[in-house]
Amino acid sequence: MIIEAIFSTLNREGSPNFAPMGVVWGEERVTVRPFRQTQTYENLVASGYGVVSLTDNVRAFVQCGLYHVVLPHFTASQVPGVVYQEACAWRELQVISQAGDEQRAEVHCRVVEKGRRRDFLGFCRARSAVLEAAILATRLNLYDADWIAAMLDHYETIVEKTGDENERLAFQEIRAFIRR
């Protein structure tokens, strides 16, 4: 099963990079599938380490995925890396092997350390709609503009009916990104 999370790596200078990432979650192993042309892939392969953070704050997905914001964070305890400050739980990872195809890597990692701060509240319908809209915003070149507009209207209705201020702000950020 693929779990949506915030994945962080460090570049050669030690600066953090955050990216939303679907990972195959496990207690002892985690598989990460970044596109090969991304900063995440470059950092992960160069350093051999990463941190996967679980969060129920969907704005974090929008901010780092669309706007490349460096999220608030703290230093990981066992690997060179950082943990997203609002993580409910996280796994500190060490790369053990990689495979994949020309476009997308499949990086298998060993869990070096586990952390937990609080219960994961999960995703209400609004949070799920924001996640889907954010993913859609990263793939604008793949779909027809009318279909994208219809999907965004559908997601916005869900956000307005079932979300709170955080989800509404996240959705506004997605709309602003798409307008640009």
- With vertex at residue 166, the alpha carbon angle to CA 164 and CA 168, rounded to the nearest 5 degrees, is 70
The strand pairing partners of 115, in sequence order, are 90
Contact by Cβ (8 Å): 41, 85:
no
pLDDT per residue as tens digits for the range 10-36: 999 999 999 999 999 999 999 999 999
Can you point out the beta strands (E) in 1-104?
2-10, 16-24, 29-32, 49-54, 73-75, 82-84, 89-100
Domains, the chain, with CATH or none: 2-116 (2.30.110.10), 125-179 (1.20.58.290)
* Residue count (the chain): 180
pLDDT per residue as tens digits for the range 49-87: 999 999 999 999 999 999 999 999 999 999 999 999 999
The strand pairing partners of 93, in sequence order, are 50, 111
Tokens of 126: 């609004």
Contact by Cβ (8 Å): 40, 7:
yes
Q: Note the pLDDT of residue 160.
A: 96
Nearest CA to 11 out of 68, 55, 90 is that of 68
Q: How many whole angstroms from its chain centre is CA 24?
A: 13
Contact by Cβ (8 Å): 44, 81:
no
Q: Note the pLDDT of residue 33.
A: 96
pLDDT per residue as tens digits for the range 90-116: 999 999 999 999 999 999 999 999 999
